[in-house]
Amino acid sequence: MAAAWAAFDDYPEERAHEFRALIDALVAELPADSPLGPFEQACAWDSTGHSDKAVPLYQAALERGLGDVSRYKARRTKIQLSSSLRNTGRAEEGVALLTPELDAPSDELDDAVRACLALCLSSLGRDREGLSLVLGALAPHLPRYQRSMANYARALVVPEA
C-alpha cells in the first residue's frame, strides 16, 4: 500500500481509474471486515477528485473500528471525511465531526484538524471562528509575534471583558 501511494503522482488525471484499481486490488488482500480497506479506498477516491464516493467509505472505515486499529488513521479519516463532507455541501456535519478533535490527544495532525475545521466553518459563514482557528494554529510556528497572534486569534471569538 505504501508503495502504491508513493507512486500516486505517477498517475495523471486520465489514469486515476488505474490507481483506484490498484488500491482495490490491494484491499482485496485484506480481511473482508477490515476497516483499512474502506479507508484506503476512500483515500483513493478522494485523492482523485471524488469526495462523493469517498464519504461512505470513510464512514464505513470508522464504523468498522478504524480507531481500534490505528488512532492516527482514524484521525486522518475524520479530517478527510470532514473535507469531503464540506465539498459535498455538508459542512455542518464536518464541523460536528472535527470539533471533538480539538480536545483529542495532540499529534502532528493538530494543525490539519484546525485548517479543515476552519474551512468547514467558513462554508457555514462562520469566518471569524475559522480565522481564529487558523491564526491559533499558525502562531506557534512564527519566529516572532507568537503571543500577539494567539491573543488576536482568541479576540476574534471571545468578546472583550
Could you report the per-residue pLDDT of 72-120, keeping only the tens digit for each?
Answer: 999 999 999 999 999 999 999 999 999 999 999 999 999 999 999 999 9
Tell me: pLDDT of 145 over 70.
yes
Residues 6+ apart with CB under 8 A from 27: 36, 37, 40, 41
Tell me: pLDDT of 123 over 50.
yes
pTM: 0.91
Instruction: Say yes or no: domain 2-89 is CATH 2.60.40.
Output: no
What does the pLDDT read at residue 158? Answer: 87
DSSP code string of 109-155:
THHHHHHHHHHHHHHTT-HHHHHHHHHHHHGGG-SS-HHHHHHHHHH
